[in-house]
A = this chain, B = another copy of it.
């Protein structure tokens, strides 16, 4: 996306200068204003051009986040939270400059309550750090967006990934957050009860708010027991439609599938080439089943029957960990495999999500659109949830191609919305999808804006994201 499509935020030079002076004096080496660090904090794994902040504070405790927010509030300067920078819609960019608050040093696991199947972590803990920590407990945190994102960042974008079909998204797995609000106060949104009817659901309000209402400093998360047994495998289909119909039947029959991922023909070619594998080069489903020994076998056999009914198969599955790991490594490397289809290229990634009854139509129309548009764009998707990614691979120096790609992405988003779906299943709105949010939810966006205005009247929290302030 060219920068002209991005919401502009005016710079407050006087305020920024004042804040830089205060933070430099107060935090010394932990406040950095060097170009490399600033650019790295405004440079994301996205096609949206980087917009560097004016300085980066490496916070170590919540009180420092409060301090930074209060100083910025006093001077009307933007504050942008930063976890690992793996978000995909320009969330960490600083369109009006300001201070990036880097939470990566707030990486302590504060408590594991094994009996209650929950834990409390600082926002900078990444999902693999947490799972490494949990290794000896028999518990794990299932949500896996691919990147080793920070849990605070994952909450902020309402992330999900490959096994949301069974375990839910951050929406279902965050029990409470502690957050520094725009006035600098630290709140906790809920106690540790599994359910509550105590007032407005501030937890769910902050989850998915992309840092625009406050900075999450710690989170309490649901944990799950590591399954006794896991099986998984790959199943080819002759068409995307047949694969989607098998997905619908699997979900409808109540098979508690842990992962059910679609990769289309171009995606499979990319994976075979990149990972030196010999999977069938047509649409394939990658599956994983969790449960008891008896259950995972039953699930795999049930799916094999379903696949057969829709002309797919053979479904080759295994309980052997090394073989499963190879399979999921290939799936997780789909991003890099896709990128390798266009060396030196850039990726406009998308993440529409539709009701599964419309999934087959949506993918079929999208594949036709890709062909008509003359774009190189493999498809991978978390199809159990109706969510799929088109990776549009472009030459960043080719303005015409960029324009063509953006037009395609626009049609894709509107197509999903017209099918009663969403323009974003898991990446968030950020800078890139603001116009589509309005298409999707119409007047509801005005109430989001009212909430933003009420909680952040100065508009200092991650400005230029989700919606424009004025509508």
Contact = CB atoms under 8 A, between A and B. Distances in A.
Contacts of A157: 197
Q: Which of the four size classes fits the interface of chain A?
A: 35 or more
Contacts of A351: 197
Contact of A441 (B190, B252, B254): B190
Given A113-B355, A171-B195, A201-B208, A447 B181 contact: yes
Interface string A101-144: 00000000000011111100000000000000000000000000
Interface in A410-452: 416-417, 420-429, 433, 437, 440-448, 450-452
B115 A356 contact: yes
A294 interface: yes
A158 B295 CA distance: 33
Contacts of A273: none
A200 to B, nearest CB: 4
A467 interface: yes
A191 interface: yes
A198 interface: yes
A198 B446 CA distance: 14
A72 to B, nearest CB: 19
Contacts of A385: 193-195
A196 B353 contact: yes
Given A115-B356, A172-B172, A198 B424 contact: yes
B447 A252 contact: no
A205 interface: yes
A187 interface: yes
A66 interface: no
A70 interface: no
Given A196-B353, A454-B450, A117 B252 contact: yes
B204 A201 contact: yes
Interface in A183-217: 185, 187-202, 204-205, 207-209, 213
A429 B187 contact: no
Given A118-B355, A429-B199, A455 B451 contact: yes
Given A225-B252, A441-B188, A441-B190, A467 B199 contact: yes
A191 B440 contact: yes
Contacts of A225: 252-254
A32 interface: no
29 contacts: A115-B248, A118-B355, A158-B195, A159-B197, A169-B195, A185-B446, A191-B417, A191-B420, A191-B440, A191-B441, A193-B353, A193-B387, A193-B420, A196-B425, A197-B351, A197-B425, A198-B423, A198-B437, A198-B440, A199-B445, A199-B448, A200-B208, A200-B448, A200-B466, A201-B207, A202-B448, A225-B254, A292-B298, A451-B454
- In the A-B complex, the 5 residue pairs with the closest CB atoms: A454-B454, A204-B204, A115-B357, A193-B353, A196-B422
